[in-house]
Structure 1
């Protein structure tokens, strides 16, 4: 995108920048020689050309796009919102992240009993708080400049999410990373509940204060954003959808999240595989269950869509007793977390169905269920006290917490007395 000198000046005045066809906002000034030397003093090699080009455009800022990272078959929506820079107000600034990585590298070398150079092989340069980070390889060699994604695993209660820290190489260089950025949904759709572009669009709105030239520049930048929209609808209309993996996955994901049976059938007839992994390790069935579309989930089962081990846990909060029994009969596994999810939503009959395989499996399994019920009930009562004391803030009241504890106790007494 070619910009006039006046447009360049306007971008800088509004802390905006362009890099590889993407708009960066809340930008910082380009890196200077002193800061570059300070960074490279900690590295095993020079800052790669791709990252240097980004830093010469803006040495930090914020990003408002979608990024999917595949970790060993797990499709993960990666939160990439910040380009680290010195003295930022993020979880850590750039120097803080470098110090953190140096400490981690030194500790790893000590535990493995190997010498350490005191330099980083991988430089953290972007991410989201402490949950997601992007690194660039700085070690001289064939991987120099490659971008590595890291995500922290979440507790097992987060059904369908990553449950262990994960790494994946996602691009050969920083430019390639930015070319991966896209929009899974239209960021300009007024009906959308959430968009990764929301704050970016607010930043673009500020251009209108610069008069006609600002309004014109805003329109050009918005057109640039629209080019990143992954719109599956034209591909469905022209018959090419089944041959475009990312678009067909998004089409099936949208249909499943809406519980749209006619559209799921249309997609199947268009050559899409309803068992394809769409989010996490789940397919259309898991997406339907996660969003409470039980009729669509039952339809998918009728079509022969297979059940995964964690399918029940994904849908435990909404599921009916009959559907729970059907999933268990088809190979889904139960666990205490699934039972507790059902109890939390007052689906007691479904919860009881999910307890049966745990009670029948072994004394150890039954004991684990009993302990989980006891622990959760006690936790709910503790949280209720904290809410009453003004020490815990929640969208649920203390009465809600106590009611859930009572439901858990009732179930436990029925099962174990």
Structure 2
């Protein structure tokens, strides 16, 4: 299915550089094919036959890495599922297939013991990939209507993680492995990324290393990147022809792009094209939540003016200096003033916005000084603790040493 792009000689050259193609997707750091004995060992612990598509993959490569986007609805959220690893035997890391099989067998044994149910020692769900220990991809390996389906499982995070899923979730990716691979896509062009960290970065770095250290030619590397970019999602064409609003998944990708690029004009175009702006866009975060947390303030203002909902706690998740004008707009459209919002604005270097929120809070509460002091002290303690760990080299923080220092200074010097 990939021979329309590469000749046999090119495929062999790519394979020599640890690159394999499966279901029109790129696998890199690809392992040798799985032996028949290894396949038989996996089959022995499965309740039904291994799906033919999985056997085809393993006869091509025992596993490796992939670098694509995958968004699925899970527990009512719009979840980004991490599927960067294809498990393989012999790995000494999170890639280890036999390690994950052992983990699943132990879990199934414990579940059977707790429920006093008989268990035949066989798995109905076979772990085949995922991301470390937080996201997992399974193949259904028992006879029945779901046989061969590919499922995604995601670990719930503590409630302190705003807008994340707080309970474990599972949903179907596709009816078979080939369809699941084809569900992997690129939201953005990896050659023109919207941010510092982007999907495709790991593959491009791998290819550069193969070129610099192992002789992968520029011509073949460029051809592989062109093949890889075939997985890019095209939402621009349906936006231009007026049909984008009819496609929910494409609409959400376009809206996330508008937020990532802080593009107020694009927001207006999307709204004019009937793109919905009121549902979960990333986790449980709605569009305005995502824009505010990313510092996309122009996009946030455009969203609010276009009628996008504003969560009552929207101001609690400010993570960049915000203008008083945007705060006023948010307060007028449903955001509630809180001591947390005041402290976050102070820490981010937005004292005028903080005072505006404080004034609004004081209109309905008489505990402003003590409530703010309590939140400030807690946030200050957290930042100072992180600052010490960063200085001692025990922690890597997204704000860095300078950013943490500024936030501490802002909180210590501000007074209501």
Deviation at 1:165, TM superposition (A): 2.2
Q: Which residue of 1 aligns with 2:303?
A: 300
Say if 2:411 is the partner of 1:407.
yes
Task: Map 1:98-109 to 2 at 5 A.
Answer: 98-109=101-112
Q: Among residues 226, 231, 253, which one is paired with 2:229 in the alignment?
A: 226
Deviation at 1:372, TM superposition (A): 5.6
Q: Which residue of 2 aligns with 1:142?
A: 145
Q: How many residues align?
A: 410
Q: Deviations over 1:152-186 (max 9, x none)?
A: 23344443333332211111111111010111111
Task: Map 1:66-77 to 2 at 5 A.
Answer: 66-77=69-80
TM-score (norm 2): 0.83
The verdict on how the C-alpha distance between 1:385 and 1:75 changes in structure 2, with shifts beyond 3 A counting, is closer
TM-score (norm 1): 0.82
Q: Is the contact made by 2:84 and 2:130 (CA closer than 8 Å) also made in structure 1? A: yes
Task: Map 1:228-307 to 2 at 5 A.
Answer: 228-307=231-310
Unaligned runs of 5+ in 2: none
Q: Which residue of 2 aligns with 1:186?
A: 189
Q: Deviations over 1:244-294 (max 9, x none)?
A: 333332222222333322222222223323335433333432333223233
Task: Provide the rounded CA distance (Å) in 2 between the counterparts of 1:46 and 1:256.
Answer: 45
Task: Provide the rounded CA distance (Å) in 1 between the counterparts of 2:413 and 2:175.
Answer: 55
Q: Is the contact made by 1:289 and 1:314 (CA closer than 8 Å) also made in structure 2? A: yes
3-state SS, counterpart of residue 227 of structure 1: helix
The verdict on how the C-alpha distance between 1:92 and 1:58 changes in structure 2, with shifts beyond 3 A counting, is closer
Q: Is the contact made by 1:208 and 1:215 (CA closer than 8 Å) also made in structure 2? A: no
3-state SS, counterpart of residue 135 of structure 1: strand
Q: Is the contact made by 1:160 and 1:314 (CA closer than 8 Å) also made in structure 2? A: no
Task: Map 1:296-375 to 2 at 5 A.
Answer: 296-315=299-318, 317-320=320-323, 323-324=326-327, 327-328=330-331, 330-332=333-335, 338=341, 341-348=344-351, 350=353, 353=357, 373-375=376-378
Q: Which residue of 2 aligns with 1:83?
A: 86
Q: Is the contact made by 1:374 and 1:409 (CA closer than 8 Å) also made in structure 2? A: no
Task: Provide the rounded CA distance (Å) in 2 between the counterparts of 1:294 and 1:85.
Answer: 44
Deviation at 1:87, TM superposition (A): 1.8
Q: Deviations over 1:112-135 (max 9, x none)?
A: 333333222211111111121111
Task: Provide the rounded CA distance (Å) in 1 between the counterparts of 2:253 and 2:333.
Answer: 27
Q: Is the contact made by 1:381 and 1:405 (CA closer than 8 Å) also made in structure 2? A: no
